[in-house]
């Protein structure tokens, strides 16, 4: 899926890394509850795989390397393409459902951000069906995940690759004219769109329809009503009905408040063939997720497969969580701290081993250490010559064996 990254403070310190780890764990957990299984692709891929695919990553953005045999490789610039290639190669029948997810770094360079070449994406890919129910479920997964992250104000913009493509085919534009028009539509520059179209040999009715595209944005019912006025073919009518069907299922999920329509949504990845969507949260000017249906991509690997997916930009999500104060405080306290004298060292270290086997986080310190500093924990164990003492939840207990520590800690939890 597509990504354009701004400067971020990735992995600035231990706390940021822990927050990032928790964020990724939340994403992976939600993906799993929808039946997706994690996969991985190679960091290095053959350059030809990307250069030969229609509608893929801009070749100038790929980071290329040459191996010892002289073969040109690229650092993975996109995840959807290699996952599609692998799935197409391993699937002999179109009668299947594959739900796959990934958390991987992708690598691209752009003239606008020369120092930013790496970002992390967490995404899903569904292979096997093309129905409004599947499209809605994938969008629902994106919404569900944003709710898991405690975002309150977010929107999913939904469009359709076929609506604009079908309309623009009637205009017979050159590649340069089409590229400029797409840029102007994305920026909703109505004035420049009108000037461009006035200079082209396009009939007035078609020109009016194209100029309407950037305005087809907002509450779904209103957009549908406006879109019906510029329908110029059966294909466009089918596209609109597909959008309506998807929206009706999302209403049944009860998440229609998070959805707006944007028929001027144009993704730079031209392999999209159906529903396309992107998600925005407060205080982040770029989409935190992008996705869509790409039924024709498998054909380029000799296996036609209906497919839809999306990817979260982990860096943008982390940025938004920090800016909105949504991160849970990082608890730096450990479960158990053990202090011991030299005479009790063997007994204390054996206890620490047994406690760690029970999945407790344990720190040990010799009382003879000159660098000993007080640390935070609700459970402090002192191994001293006279007796062994446990301080748990401000209560003092004596003990002789490690199993007593566990029993006492568990009992104080219940108090």
239, 128 contact by CB (below 8 A)? no
More confident residue, 14 or 230: 230
Cα dihedral sign, 128-132-135-141: negative
Query: d(Cα 395, Cα 335) in Å, to the nearest integer?
Result: 15
Whether the pLDDT of residue 227 is over 90: the answer is yes
SS3 at position 122: strand
CA contacts within 13 A on the Cβ side of 411: 11
- Residue 335 DSSP one-character state: S
Mean pLDDT, residues 321-342: 85
Whether the pLDDT of residue 169 is over 90: the answer is no
Query: What is the residue-averaged pLDDT of the chain?
Result: 89
86 burial (CB, 10 Å; 0-12 / 13-18 / 19+) is: middle
Helix axes of 204-212 and 161-169: crossing angle, nearest 10 degrees: 160
Give the CATH number of domain 336-414; options: 3.40.1350.10, 3.40.50.800, 3.20.20.10, 1.10.3730.10. 3.40.50.800
Report the first-to-last Cα separation within the chain, whole angstroms. 51
- Residue 404 is inside which H or E element, if any? helix 402-414
pLDDT per residue as tens digits for the range 178-221 = 889 988 988 888 999 889 888 888 899 999 999 999 999 999 99
With a pLDDT cut of 90, the percent of the chain lying above it is 62
List the domain boundaries for the chain.
14-323, 336-414
pLDDT per residue as tens digits for the range 8-60 = 444 467 778 888 999 999 999 999 999 999 999 999 999 988 887 776 778 88
Q: How far is CA 396 from CA 263, 382, 383, in A?
A: 67, 11, 13
Query: d(Cα 211, Cα 191) in Å, to the nearest integer?
Result: 9
Predicted TM-score (pTM) of this structure: 0.85
Quickly list H helices, 117-160. 132-148
With a pLDDT cut of 70, the percent of the chain lying above it is 91
Q: How far is CA 92 from CA 86, 89, 171, in A?
A: 12, 8, 40
Q: Which two tokens stand for residue 20?
A: 């990032």
Q: Which two tokens stand for residue 278?
A: 């992107």
- Do the bridges between strand 64-66 and strand 44-46 make them parallel or antiparallel, or are there none, so unpaired? unpaired
pLDDT per residue as tens digits for the range 267-319 = 766 778 899 999 999 988 899 999 999 998 988 888 889 999 999 999 999 99
Give the CATH number of domain 14-323; options: 3.30.930.10, 3.40.710.10, 1.20.140.10, 3.60.15.10. 3.30.930.10
């Amino acid at each position: 899926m597509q990504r354009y990254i701004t400067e971020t403070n990735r992995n600035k310190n231990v706390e940021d890394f822990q927050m990032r780890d928790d964020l990724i764990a939340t994403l992976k957990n939600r993906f799993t509850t929808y039946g997706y299984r994690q996969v991985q692709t190679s960091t290095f891929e053959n350059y030809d795989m990307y250069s030969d695919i229609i509608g893929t990553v801009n070749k100038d953005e790929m980071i290329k390397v040459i191996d010892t045999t002289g073969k040109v490789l690229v650092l993975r610039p996109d995840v959807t393409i290699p996952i599609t290639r692998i799935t197409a190669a391993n699937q002999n029948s179109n009668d299947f459902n594959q739900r796959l997810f990934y958390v991987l770094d992708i690598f691209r360079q752009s003239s606008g951000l020369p120092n930013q070449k790496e970002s992390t994406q967490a995404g899903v890919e569904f292979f096997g069906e093309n129905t409004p129910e599947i499209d809605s479920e994938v969008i629902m997964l994106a919404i569900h995940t944003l709710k898991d992250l405690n975002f309150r104000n977010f929107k999913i913009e939904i469009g359709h690759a076929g609506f604009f493509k079908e309309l623009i085919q009637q205009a017979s534009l050159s590649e340069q004219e089409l590229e400029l028009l797409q840029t102007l539509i994305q920026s909703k520059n109505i004035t420049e769109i009108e000037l461009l179209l006035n200079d082209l040999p396009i009939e007035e009715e078609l020109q009016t329809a194209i100029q309407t595209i950037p305005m087809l944005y907002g509450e779904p019912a209103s957009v549908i009503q406006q879109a019906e006025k510029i329908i110029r073919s059966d294909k466009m009518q089918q596209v609109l009905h597909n959008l309506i069907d998807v929206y009706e299922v999302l209403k049944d999920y009860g998440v229609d408040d998070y959805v707006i329509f944007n028929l001027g949504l144009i993704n730079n990845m031209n392999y999209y063939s159906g529903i396309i969507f992107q998600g925005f949260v407060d205080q982040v000017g770029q989409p935190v997720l992008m996705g869509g249906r790409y039924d024709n991509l498998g054909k380029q690997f000799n296996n036609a497969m209906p497919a839809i997916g999306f990817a979260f930009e982990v860096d943008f999500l982390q940025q938004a969580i920090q800016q909105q104060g949504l991160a849970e405080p990082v608890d730096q306290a450990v479960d158990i701290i053990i202090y011991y004298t030299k005479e009790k060292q063997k007994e204390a270290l054996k206890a620490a081993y047994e406690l760690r086997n029970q999945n407790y986080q344990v720190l040990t310190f010799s009382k003879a250490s000159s660098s000993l500093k007080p640390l935070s924990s609700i459970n402090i164990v002192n191994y001293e010559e006279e007796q062994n003492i446990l301080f748990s939840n401000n209560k003092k207990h004596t003990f002789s064996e490690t199993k007593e520590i566990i029993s006492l800690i568990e009992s104080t939890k219940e108090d």
